[in-house]
Amino acid sequence: MRITSRRRSGAVPHRQQVARIGALAALLCVTTVLAACGDDRAGDGPRANRPAAPASLGPGQEADTSLPPVKVGYQNLESTAVALPAFRVGFEAGVKYVNEHLGGVKGHPLEADGCKTDLTPETTINCDNRFVDDGVAAVLVNIDIALDAGLPALQKAGIPVIVSLADSPAVERAQGTVFSYGASRRATDAAALKGMIETGSKNVIIALPDTSGYHEQWEDVYEPVADQNDVKADVVYYQLGSADYGTLASIIVAKNPDTVLLPAANDTDCDGTLPALAAAGFAGKIMAGSCSDFIEKFPSSQTAGIYVYGLLPAPQWVGNLPESVEEDLAVFNAYMEQEGQGEFANAFGMQGFALALNAASMLAQADDPTTSVSTMAALKSAQGALFAQDASYDCATAGAPGSSACGNLTWYGQVQDDGTILNSDFSPIDANAALPE
């Protein structure tokens, strides 16, 4: 295991280039902040406290099966080393919901061809080459850290890519061929720190995976945001997937911060880091990546008071939200239960569901949504409402200059004693406004 740290005002000691194993899920879903308070929860946990289901999902408007389907490729990270199946399960449920309740895509059934990727560019290239051969109308992506490698083939074939977050530099720069209905990666990273500054944080440790991409994020985003807001910041790097969480926690606590940000953490990182920090005596705030399962895994004495952030509210959010968002969350929770997928009614599943619904909205603006020529042309000016955000996407005007992002919001909330999440008064945040000048 390798753990290194570097202070904001120090020299640049570490530029080792390693394979990018970015935790895109950290920005797609929920980030957490731990505080000790409250009693252990009884009953069925957060699921019992989610937004009430609508009286009936109703028959809705079914897609016209006599029309040719809108065939899309779908890729998601599901390898033996890192598997995130909840995104796929949520997406598959979303596709079914689109076809059963929303009339498909301009009447056409939405049909997805799934392809699982791992941590290597080869699997991504193989998936995207297959999609090119199949002539899909678009490629939809939840998590694929090697998407950069597959982009050239898709761009050459004129196939648009729809993502929830422009995660890498190449994807973010691919304006006009990649369409991210969320904010840009740089903007969401900036909003992650800005949100904690809004809570009063003044002395922050940011723990990041030890990859070249995250070194760049520290230097290009976190460090200047801290400088502009007169916040003391330090960074600690750890090996993603093989960190010694006890050692990591000890290094962090020794620096005596009031807040710890773990913006790239996955559920495994959270399950290891949160108790390690508590055991090390840390009593401040912790923003712990993409985690949401921790709410049910740990007692409320370790979770109540946690702040969470993401591109859209998680299923546990129940308070201080716009009515339309509460309705969308209720639909998601009810439909996942109806489909027998209640265990995946979490932040990851929510992102998959949202990808299906938002992509259907975007593709429906094409004259002929079954062809990539038509969808590519339409997506460049696509505008519409976002699922569970009470906001709109606008691909005609980039969410950030030179970016493939069509959106600009991130949401912040706080875990309550009963496991629900209360939307913060300053949420949602305009992520673009949080970017360093």
Helix H, strand E, coil C: the string for the chain is CCCEEEECCCCCCCCCCCCCCCCCHHHHCCEECCCCCCCCCCCCHHHHHCCCCCCCCCCCECCCCCCCCEEEEEEEEECCCCECHHHHHHHHHHHHHHHHHECCECCECEEEEEEEECCCHHHHHHHHHHHHHHCCCEEEECCCCCHHHHHHHHHHHCCCEEECCECCHHHHHCECCEEECCCEHHHHHHHHHHHHHHCCCCEEEEEEECCHHHHHHHHHHHHHHHHHCCCEEEEEEECCCCCCHHHHHHHHHHCCCCEEECCCCCHHHHHHHHHHHHHCCCCCEEECCCCCCHHHHCCHHHHCCCEEEECCCCCCEEECCCHHHHHHHHHHHHHHHHCCCHHHCCHHHHHHHHHHHHHHHHHCCCCCCCCHHHHHHHHCCCEEECCCCCCEEECCCCCCCCCCECCCEEEEEEECCCCCEEECCCCCEEHHHHCCC
Q: Is pLDDT larger for residue 323 or for residue 17?
A: 323
pLDDT for the residue 55:
41
Average pLDDT over residues 293-315: 85
In this prediction, residues 400-420 reach a mean pLDDT of 87
Judged by average pLDDT, the poorest of 52-56, 95-99, 248-252, 262-266 is: 52-56
4-48+186-317+411-434 and 55-183+320-408 share one fold: yes
Residue 9 confidence (pLDDT) above 60: no
Task: Please give the pLDDT value at position 128.
Answer: 97
Q: What is the pLDDT of residue 3?
A: 53
Question: So where are the chain's domains?
Answer: 4-48+186-317+411-434, 55-183+320-408
Provide CATH code, domain 55-183+320-408: 3.40.50.2300
The CATH code belonging to domain 4-48+186-317+411-434 is 3.40.50.2300
Give 23's pLDDT tier (boundaries 50, 70, 90). Answer: very low
Question: So what's the pLDDT on residue 332?
Answer: 95
pLDDT in tens, 87-116: 999 999 999 999 999 999 999 999 999 999
Report pLDDT digits (tens) over 243-255.
899 999 999 999 9
pLDDT of residue 315: 82
Of the given ranges (19-33, 86-100, 292-306, 315-329), which has the lowest mean pLDDT? 19-33
